[in-house]
Each structure stands twice: as structure tokens, then as C-alpha cells.
A and B are shown apart, each in its own frame.
Chain A
Amino acid sequence: MTSTFLSPTDQQKRTLTTIFVITGIVLLVARMVVVTFWAVYGGHTLTDTFMVEVLLTVASDLILVCVIGVVFLTYTKRTGKEVSYEVLAGALTTYAISALALLLLGALLPSDVVEGVPTNITTVVTSHILALGTFIVSIGLAGFLAWFMQMRRHERTGRYLILLMIILFGVWLLSALGSVASVFSGLSITLVVIGSIVMLMSIKRLNWLATLTMDKKIRLLWLTTCAAFAAGLLASWHAFNGDAFVTQSAAMFVRSGAILPGAINLFGFVFFARLFFAVLASLPNSGIVDRRSSEVESLAHLTRMMAETADVDTLLSSVTQFALQVCRAHGAWCELYDDDGSIRVVASKNVHADYVRVLHRDRALHRMFMDNARPALIDSLPDILGADATLPIRSVITVPLIREHRRTGTLVMFSTIEYGFEADDLRLLTAFGDTISIALDQTRLMEMAIEKERLQKEFDVARRIQSSLLPISAPDIPSLGLAAITIPAEEIGGDYYDYVRFANGRPGVIIADVSGKGIPAALYMATLKGVVLAEMRSSNGPADLLRRVNAALMGSMEKQTYITMTAVDYDVATMTMRMARAGHTPLLLRSGSTIRTYTPKGIAIGLVAPATFDRVTEEIEFPVESHDIIMLTTDGVNERRDAALGEIGIEPVCEMLANIGTTTASTVITKTLELLHMHGNGTDQHDDITIVSMVVNGVAETTVDDERIRPIYGVLS
């Protein structure tokens, strides 16, 4: 039962409170009735019969127990609450108002007490109300003081609280004995004084008051003054003014009870006075505290804003608005300097376009705006510009905005009064400027990241499109095993190979290399594919195809761009190949263990008009035998570099071909890539690599599809 009483649930607390309140009221009414019949109608004094006195005392004590119980329950409900300005101000207000109201009531209510006996019913009722009010206010104050000390406790708080309670008890006891011998009254007063000292010592940890804002402190000063006044008045009345109705009421309610509210209110007075001086002492630094806390809040707010905003203009707009509030400026704008020297105002608050123009018209000011590396303060603009009644700007702060180590703009704040800013504003804005600069860099990085992602996605699409331009499977060429691969140096490239069929029905292979790399080369590659598809069916051989392609593309290509290309066809019946070359790298033929290179005359596509091109381009024919290897490459193969920029050359490839023996077309490609890989030794590939290999009477092969390297193998019997 004890434990439930000490830590009851909220529900139990409510029930207990109700019980206390009802019991208290019933007892009070009963007591009033008893006093009325006994004193008013009976004409007895309250103390002349022992039984009655005991009865009344027990009733009073029980009522007090009820009051104490309610107060106790009220404050234990608050244990979780931290002492804050709001709680303190609320308690002070409640106390001051109720204490002063009590005093007012005591002064106004009619009293008719003769020698400690109320003479009419009105006096009985009013004296009971006043007595109850006195005890409620006092016990409530005691509860608050105890709670406050608990909340701001230190190592000796517990001992002080117990000591204070013992002192209060002692005071009561001694005061009751005061009627026996006056020495006890003296002792009781001494105890009250000691209690006050203990009270003073036990109030500690009031530093948090310093962090309150100026206006809150001022309000606290008023409240503590009122509370101290009320407490002082109550305490002194109970101590010295026995004739006052309030004191008389308390004394009639509890014998020698007047001393207790007096003592408690004295303690309260000590507390309020201590609080008053603590607040008073913390007043001078309030300005600094206010400023500091608003600075910290501002920077935190700015940081949050930075984190939430990705767009530079939005960010600058909110920053301008915010800086305006923080510095109590009358207007502000953000100007950005473009590369061509023009000034762009992005975020303006209370700004006329003329303001910016007028300020920049002055050379010195213009330079200051554009070049200052640190924030600057102009206290009096008229000193510089001369008095100009039309321009309301009187003082200015400029904050440079820096992005990627470059001055990109200025945050300008102005006041319409001279000396409108303080040095502190400048200091705060310096921190601001740094933060904004970081934010600007961040947004730039974010924009870059987004842009990069967008580009990457487009590249991915382009890469898919380009790989769809390359043949998926080889055509049905009897007795010719085919394999091909292209590896762009970047996401997309300018190399191209394809399988074609000429007008006479002969199958063929083409390989081409657009000069340059990346997107331009890829666009030409796609164009070339279109032209080849359009022209191959009407071409009667490799040279004819090249001439048609040149005629189609000449004039529609950029001057510095050209395409090298080789076309080959194969006559299955006679086992001969025809070949023409437009500036492309030579064709390699491995026959037995000898390597032949074929370099028929020809010029790259897109360089010369058809007349010259057609004359220069020649076509050759050569026979092939079973197990011969025919290899077409782009210059990305023989120009594969190592770390020292040394090119591999075509010789290692020729050597590999000479020694490879009987093999498949895909093995030829694998071996070639191995050579290139070994030579490159981890260095970046700087040009697109394409290899087409053909093996006469090659064996069947399976298709391999690797992610980065996209080989496309054709298999034919």
C-alpha cells in the first residue's frame, strides 16, 4: 500500500485528489457548523472546553493533511517536467496573484472577532475561507519550493530539504509553547531566521537564467518583484500583525498556526529575492546571449536550408530573405557576376532596380562589390556617394559569394539609416558567407552529378543503339568461318564492320574507321551504315562499293573528318577474294606459314571528289586456300600503346598468325586481344579496336557474349 501511495498511477492520483478535496470540503463545512453553534450561538470561547478544542484541532489538521496531499500529488505529477522559464513564470504568477488576492480579501472582508471568537456566521465563514486560502497558498508555495529545489538539485539538496522540514516543525512546536514561556517564542523566531539562511544556501544552479532572452528576463523581474512583495507582506503580517483578519483567521483555524504560513512565506520571500538578483545579475549580458543564440540558430537554419535546396537561385533567395531577418536590414539582394561581366540580380527583397544601378555607378563601390574577399560594412553611404535624397540606402553590408574559388556574386544588405548595422552583424555574415559559399559549391557538385548521370544514361542508350548497328549474326557464307569484335575506347566509337552481299550475289565483309572518337565519330558510323546498306545491292564489287560510298558522303562531311574503309568479297566457287581499300590499314592473309599484306591503292572516303577517288581506288584479287586466315583490323590494333606510348605495331600480330596453325576465326581474335592486352598492360585504350577474322573452311563455333567486349561470331560450315 505504501508503495502505491508513493508512486501511484495517474488514475490513482486523480482519485486520491478527488478524495482529498471532498474530504477537505466536508470537514471544513463541519468545522464551520461546529464553530457557529459553539461560539456564535453558544457564546463559548473556542478553547474553554478541552473536547471541543481537540475536535476542532483534529478537523483543522485533517483539512491541512488534505491540502498537503493535493499539493503533493500536484507536484509529483510534474516530476518529468524540467524547470523552464514557462513553468517558473506560471508558478510566480499564480502565487503572486493568489497571495495578493488573499491579502486584499483579508483587508476588505468584514470581520467581527472578539477575543479570538467570531461573533457572527459571516465572520465564521470568511475566517474559514481566509484561513484555508492562507494554508493553500503557503503549502502550495512550500510544495513549489521543494519541487524547484529537487529539479535543480545538487549534492546537499536532500539534506537541506529535510533540515527545512525539521525547522518548520520546530518552529511550530516552539511557537505553540510560546504561550507557556516567551523564551520559546524567541527560539522559534531564531529557527525561522536559520531556516531562511538554509533556504538561501539551498538555492543553486540558477545559471540557466542567463540563457533566457532579454524580454523574458524583464518579465521574470516583474514577476519576482510581485511575488516577493506578496510573500514579504504575508510573512510580516503573520509575524507582526496579529490583529489582521488574515492572521486572526489562521490563528483561529490552527492554534499557533499563524507562524507556519509566516515562515513558509518568509522562505518564499528569500527565494524570490534570490531569484530577482540572479535575473538582475544576468541582465547586462542578455544582448550577447540573445545574439549568440540567434546566431547559432541562424547558422543551423542555414545549414538545414542548404541541405534541402539543390537549386542555386532558390537557395540564394532563401538566404537573402533569411539574412534580412537576422541583421534587421531594410532590404537585401543577391547579385551574380556572369562571365561576360554583366550583373544579374537573382534574389531581391525591398529593392528597386535603381539601387543596384546607382551603387555600381560609383567606381570605388563597384570595385568593392566585385573584388572584396571578405564581407565589408559601409556605415554611411552618403559619405561616399554624397547626399542623394532619392536613394534610401544609408548603410550597406556586402558579403562575397565564392564558388569554386571564384568570386561569383555578392549578397548586399542595406539599411535606410546611417550606422544601421553593428560590427556583430558583419561577423555573423562572415560566417554566413562561408556557409553560403560551401552551399554554392555543393549545389554545383550536385548539378554536375545530375548532369553526369544524365549524360551517362544517354551514353548507355547510344551504346545500345550503336551495338544494334553491328551485325548480330554472320551471313551464310559456305566454307568461311567468321568472327568479329569491336571495342570502343569510350562508350561509343567510330569503328564499324558489317557483312554485305553484292549485286552479283557474292558475300562480303567491310570494315571502316571514322576519324576522331566519341559522339561525332559514332554519328558518322551510323550514317555510313545507312549508305552501305543502300549502296551494296547495286554495287558489283568492293571498289564499286567504296566509290559509291565516297560519292554519297563527299560534301556532307566535315572537312577534317574522313573515313577509312576496306571492302572484301568472296567467291565460294573459285575460292578467290577481291578487295578494295579506302585509306584503311592493310589486309593480312596467312597462308601456310607465310603472311601477306595487301595494300591496294586508295584514299580515305570524304577527302577527294569522286573523279579523283574513283581513279585512285584500285581493286585486287587473290586466291585463298583451306585454313587460310584473312584478318581485317582498324588502326586501334597496331597503334595499341603501352605506358611509354610505344605502339605494338602489326608485327607481333603477324608473328602470332604465322604460328597459330589450323584454328578458328574466334581463336584468332582471342589471341590478338591477348597480345594487345599484354602490350597495353593496364593503360587506357586510346582508340577503338575492331577485328574481323575469316578462316577458310573454318570449323563451327559457339557464340560468346561478354559484357564489356562485344564479340559477334558467325559460324558457317
Chain B
Amino acid sequence: MNQFTALTQQDERGICCIDLAGYLDAHTATELESIMSAAITNGCRRIVVNFADLEYISSAGLGVFMVFIESIRSDGGDIKLAAMKPKVFTVFDLLGFPVLFEIYPTVEEAKQAFPSLEA
């Protein structure tokens, strides 16, 4: 079993990158929810979720991003998704998530997509 892990790190521009790994399903979704909740409580409004090591995502896992997106966007922030494996992307794509979220091939591109604070 690929253990689910999620690590948060903040760069100098104030962008939080959450690295996901393993299986994201109904059981691990609550874990991700509390991690994201903690990041937002700490002031993170610009979040990039790195899917590079995520093997699987279920419908419950997708729901987690829906919980926060509205409030973050109303605060002027965003959640951007990056580096999905084709299988994971298919799930997002089938659901129509690309309409809702910006999805980038790499974490770097996702970070670059945030406007600089000075600007």
C-alpha cells in the first residue's frame, strides 16, 4: 500500500507547495483536509498542490479542493494544481475540474502563474 503523505513548504514568495504522494481516497482525504486547513490558518493564500507522486485519487479526494477554493479566491488567493500523472489528470478532466482549477504540467509553472506581489 502506498502510504498517503502530504508535506507543506513555503517559499520566499509566500507560495505554499503541498507535495502529495500515495493514495488519496475517502480515508486519507480528511488528512489532506486538515493539512490544507492548517496551511490556510497559517496565512497561506497562494497554494500549489504538487501531484507528482500521487498514484490515485478518488471522488472524495477531489472534494477536498472544493472545500477551500471559494474562500481562498474571495481572499485574492488561489489553489493551482501541478504535475499530475496522466491517470490522475484523466479523473480531473472527466469531472470537468479544468474548468474550475488551473492545472499546470510542472510545479514551477504553477508558481510562476501567481502574479508577483509587487505588481
Interface of B is mostly: helix
Known A-B contacts A517-B26, A559-B70, A645-B1; the reply to A603 vs B63 at CB < 8 A is no
Given contacts A564-B95, A583-B95, A604-B95, whether A516 and B100 have CB atoms under 8 Å apart is: no
A560/B63 contact (C-beta < 8 A), A516-B26, A583-B94, A584-B94 known? yes
Asked if B96 and A582 make an inter-chain contact with CB atoms under 8 angstroms apart, the answer reads yes
Scan B19-58; emit 1 where CB is below 8 A from any A CB, else 0: 0000100100100010000000000000000000000101
Contact B99 A612 (CB under 8 A): yes
In the bound complex, residues from chain A placing their C-beta under 8 Å from that of B26 are 516-517
A562 touches B94 (CB 8 A): no
Closest CB in chain A relative to B1 CB, distance in Å: 7
State whether the Cβ of A60 lies closer than 8 Å to any Cβ in chain B.
no
Task: Give the contacts of A560-590 with B (CB-CB under 8 A).
Answer: 560-562, 564, 582-586
The reply to whether the CB of B66 lies closer than 8 angstroms to some CB of chain A is: yes
* A601 beta carbon closer than 8 Å to chain B: yes
A contact residues around B23 at 8 Å (CB): 645
Interface residues on chain A, number (Cβ under 8 Å)? 27
Cβ of A641 to closest chain B Cβ, rounded Å: 10
Known: A583-B94, A645-B1. A603 touches B99 (CB 8 A): yes
Chain A residues with CB under 8 Å of B62's CB are: 515, 562
Closest B residue by C-beta to A615: B99
User: Is A608 located at the chain interface by the 8 A CB criterion?
Assistant: yes
Q: Does B114 contact A (CB under 8 A)?
A: no
Q: Chain B residues near A585 (CB, 8 Å)? A: 94
Q: Does B99 lie within 8 Å of A560, measured CB to CB?
A: no
A601 to B99, CA, bound (A): 10
Complex contacts, A639 vs chain B, CB 8 Å = 58
Using CB atoms, name the residue of chain A closest to B87.
A647
Contact of A607 with B by CB under 8 A: yes
Q: Any chain A CB within 8 A of the CB of B113?
A: no
Identify A560's interface contact among B66, B95, B97, CB under 8 A. Answer: B66
- Residues from chain B with a CB closer than 8 A to the CB of A612 are 99
CA–CA, A607 and B96, complex, Å:
9
B9 within 8 A of A: no
**Assuming A585-B94, A599-B94, is B99 touching A516 (CB within 8 A)?**
no
Q: Which residues of B contact A604 (CB under 8 A)?
A: 95-96
B88 near A: Cβ within 8 Å? no
Tell me which residues across on chain A come within 8 A of B106, comparing CB atoms.
none
Closest chain-B Cβ to A333's Cβ sits at a distance in Å of 41
CB contact between B59 and one of A513, A586, A603 (< 8 Å): that residue: A513
Which chain A residues lie closer than 8 Å to B94 at the CB level?
Answer: 564, 583-586, 599
User: How many angstroms from the CA of A645 to the CA of B67 in the assembled complex?
Assistant: 27
User: In the complex the two chains form, is B66's CB within 8 Å of A562's CB?
Assistant: yes
Nearest CB of chain B from residue A604's CB, rounded to whole Å = 5
- B15 beta carbon closer than 8 Å to chain A: no
Decide yes or no whether A140 CB sits under 8 A from chain B. Answer: no
Question: Nearest Cβ in chain B — how far from A650, in angstroms?
Answer: 11
Q: Which residues of B contact A616 (CB under 8 A)?
A: 96, 99
Scan residues 610-624 of chain A and give those whose CB is less than 8 A from a CB of chain B: 612, 616
Q: Would A603 and B97 count as touching, CB distance under 8 A? A: yes
Q: Which of chain A's residues has its CB closest to B92's CB?
A: A583
* Residues of B with C-beta under 8 A to A607: 66, 95-97, 100
In Å, the complex CA distance between A687 and B97 comes to 21
The reply to whether the CB of A118 lies closer than 8 angstroms to some CB of chain B is no
- Report A635-670 CB contacts with B as 1/0, cut-off 8 Å: 100010000010000000000000000000000000
CB-CB under 8 A from A586, the residues of chain B are 94
The contact sample of 28 A-B pairs, CB cut-off 8 A, is: A513-B59, A515-B59, A516-B63, A559-B66, A560-B33, A560-B63, A560-B64, A560-B66, A560-B67, A561-B63, A562-B62, A562-B66, A564-B94, A583-B96, A584-B94, A586-B94, A599-B94, A602-B96, A603-B95, A604-B95, A607-B66, A607-B97, A616-B96, A635-B59, A639-B58, A645-B23, A645-B56, A687-B58
Report A's interface with B, CB cutoff 8 A. Answer: 513, 515-517, 559-562, 564, 582-586, 599, 601-604, 607-608, 612, 616, 635, 639, 645, 687
List 7 additional A-B contacts (Cβ < 8 Å) besides A562-B66, A603-B97.
Answer: A559-B63, A560-B33, A561-B63, A583-B95, A586-B94, A601-B96, A607-B66
